[in-house]
Chains A and B, each alone.
Chain A
Amino acid sequence: MMEMDGALLSRIQFAWTVSFHILFPTITIGLASYLAIMEGLWLKTRNPVYRAQLLFWIKPFAVTFGMGVVSGIVLSYEFGTNFSEFSQATSTVLGPLLTYEVLTAFFLEAGFLGIMLFGWNRVSERMHFAATVIVAIGTIISAFWILAANSWMQTPAGAVLDKQGVFQVVSWMEVIFNPSFPYRLVHMLLASFLTVSFLIAGVSAWHIRKDRQNPVAQKGLSVALWAALVLAPLQAWVGDLHGLNVLEHQPIKVAAMEGIWETEQGAGLRLFAVPDQEQETNHFEVKIPYLASLILTHDAQGTLQGLKSVPADERPPVAVVFYSFRIMVGIGMLMLLAAVVGAWLRWRGNLYSANWFHKGLQWMIPAGLVATLAGWYVVEVGRQPWLVHGFLRTNDMVSAHPEQRVLFTLILFVIVYSLLFAVYLYFMRKLLKRLPSIDATVDEKESIKSQSAEYLTTSSTTTGIPS
């Protein structure tokens, strides 16, 4: 058992803040593209149903984007505040990548978001569409750089560690296009698109249950399920390729994902097990013989390296990786099933009347977020004890803060983020609950005016600020 020291607290704090943050970009990457497609279709076909989709989803998008911005700034400073050794050692590699992320993505998104959200009456339709497309592209560029940086920490390439313990870059192409980067980038982008597909499908199903004939909700459900039908199998395939890539570069991570302790020939796929780090074994194993070897080496007799092939202090916490992987894959399977069932219902002409299916989709609204988080736990916890795989150990990279100080900020982060998340869910529920209307219009001048009038009459007595 690790002791509760400053280093561990810094790691927990980073895990907490980064887990919180990733929820929002996962939604906005997919949703920005969805909005751009809807706006494009509206301009092309002038079918008001697309416009209604755009106007309905732009509000939850804006709120989610705002949460992503404020929680993201924290991360760019946390390398320095809590991982000073890490930032010294890797700034030569990660500094430029993050600088490019800010220059090519953050400014682009922020610069055009204002026009996208508030510029309806100030720019032409084409300019507005351009702004939406630029914001969508910005979210993808941002993913490109941050996943290049993360992948480099998984499969470092193109740089050598010098005598002072600082990485010196030899080739930027190799740094950026390091071995795991293409797989991870595509896997994450698909995860984001799938998350949004099920968000839209679930919310549309909810609307349909309240208003059977709502054309906007029907369109939302239809588009989202078509997308899921393409994306879910694609993701399974990309995920498999990604797994093979991990096996090549981080075999111990795969051993943890599969719960394989001894190096085995013809390893079985553990459907369930309770990994025991101390005794170096699993309890209550339920496995399908040969399947893990078959999937990972494409040979039923293939050899898989076990966790015990490396010293105990070079193994990740197995249980976290093992269970997270199962949660991710399980949800992925469920999504595939839902997409296929949706296609079958569509073929039978029941898509908009199958109440049980709509109820099920409603439950799947957060599915993508849970799967994405679980996937990231596989990636990040599976890399432990390394921070930069094979080079730097996480525990050596932490700032020398006394534990009380980090404990204090950690507690505050937990309070602040929990509070914010509750508020976020409250407002999202409020925004998503409204039934979309085919005659929705952009101009909300009136509503804002009345809001201000109402505010004038109520706030003077209730505001916390002296006026």
Chain B
Amino acid sequence: MDWAIVWFLLLGFGVFMYVVLDGFDLGLGILYPWYQPDERLLMMNSIKHIWDGNETWLVLGGVLLFAAFPPAYSLVLSHLYLPVMIMLWALIFRGVAFEYRFKATTSKHWWDFAFFAGSSIATFCQGLMLGVLLQGLTLEEGQLTISSWSWLTPFSVFTGFALMVGYALLGSLWLVWKTSGAIQQHSRKLAIMLLVIIAVLLCVVSGWSTLLDARIMDRWFSFPNMLWLAPLPLLTGYALWRTWCGLKQPSEREWLPFAWVIAVFGLSFIGLVVSVFPFLIPWQLTIWEAIAPAKSLNFILPGVLVLVPVILAYTLFGYKVFSGKLDTLDGGY
């Protein structure tokens, strides 16, 4: 068994869970300006009980990277110092907005702004980091001397905005699922628009990334790779189309478009991994170079294998407790 691959998959699972779960939370914040004030209260209400659990996947991603691929953890975080810090500050403001928005009397609009700005900036930073990782870190003489602004490139800024659109789409589809009436109609319109934009952005990012490095181009367009990998873009296209259908002809299963967009995220994520595998940090560090010693990993493997399903079970239970439409304003604590 190749343990580096196992841990890479587990890490990937954690990151993907974060992207989807906190993705729709952050998306609601990004979409704030496009909703009426009373609708905003409903939006915040719809996730007030789950955002904390969703954000925990980010902590899991961080500690799994720390535990399983330590060199990657210190290299990435030191190198992306400023974007990481800015993301953390943004997440702080986004998080406390939940606490104080409901208790505020005169400062509500400040917390609304904190929620919107915090969500938007945190997402932008995440997208930017994704772009930098795909591009590869610029290391001076292979050392950990940390050059300051190399993370700020046209490509990384572009992926930053692209992720904002992606999360906004997730957020709008969450509302399509969880609300009814005018706000649902409005969300559906927004979702259709965002879906078109994201389809374009996905094409641009995919094309642009193949131009970043000959190795990515080679991975996708050499024979026979092309045959094996062709299903990925095709399936992504299919999932996008199904989302479109679900929005244009609403059925009773209003969660369907949300589910299909999660599939789009999943396929894009796989595509990203395919582009640079087996590098954890492109062209610098492979998963085999970065993997932690067995004595450490064997200690947490049983824990991960037993506890992650348990966590998923009670997370699901939590969602079931709060299932149903959110047209009534639910009680607070």
Partner-B contacts on A (CB < 8 A): 58-59, 62-63, 66-67, 69-74, 76-77, 79-82, 84-85, 87-88, 91-96, 98-104, 106-108, 110-123, 166, 168-170, 172, 399-402, 405, 409, 412, 416, 420, 423, 427, 430-431, 442-445, 447-449, 451-452, 455-456, 458-460, 462-467
Contact = CB atoms under 8 A, between A and B. Distances in A.
A456 B95 contact: no
Contact of A416 (B41, B63, B89): B89
A59 B315 contact: no
B77 A81 contact: yes
Contacts of A82: 78
Contact of A445 (B77, B315, B318, B331): B331
B49 A102 contact: no
A21 to B, nearest CB: 11
Contacts of A447: 332
B296 A95 contact: yes
21 contacts: A66-B99, A71-B92, A72-B59, A73-B62, A81-B85, A87-B73, A95-B63, A95-B67, A99-B63, A103-B60, A103-B304, A107-B53, A111-B318, A112-B314, A116-B333, A120-B333, A122-B322, A123-B321, A170-B295, A445-B329, A463-B108
A346 to B, nearest CB: 32
A15 B92 CA distance: 18
Interface of B: 32-33, 35-38, 41, 48-50, 52-53, 55-56, 58-60, 62-64, 66-68, 70-71, 73-78, 81-82, 84-85, 88-89, 91-92, 95-96, 98-100, 102-104, 108-110, 112-113, 116, 144-146, 148, 292-293, 295-297, 299-300, 303-304, 307-308, 311, 314-315, 317-318, 321-322, 328-333
A70 B68 contact: no
A466 B32 CA distance: 9
Nearest to A456: B38
A123 B148 CA distance: 51
A88 B290 CA distance: 10
A443 B78 CA distance: 47
Contacts of A69: 52, 55, 95
Which of A67, A111, A172 counts the most B-chain CB atoms under 10 A from its CB? A111
Contacts of A116: 333
Contacts of B89: 412, 416
Contacts, number: 279
A115 B53 contact: no
Given A114-B49, A114-B50, A95 B66 contact: yes
A87 B41 contact: no
B66 to A, nearest CB: 5
A322 to B, nearest CB: 34
Contact of A456 (B37, B109, B293): B37
A399 B78 contact: yes
Nearest to A121: B331
A119 to B, nearest CB: 6
Given A99-B63, A103-B308, 12 more contacts: A66-B52, A70-B91, A81-B77, A85-B74, A100-B303, A107-B56, A111-B53, A123-B321, A169-B299, A412-B89, A416-B92, A459-B37
A276 B116 CA distance: 51
A387 to B, nearest CB: 14
Nearest to B332: A444
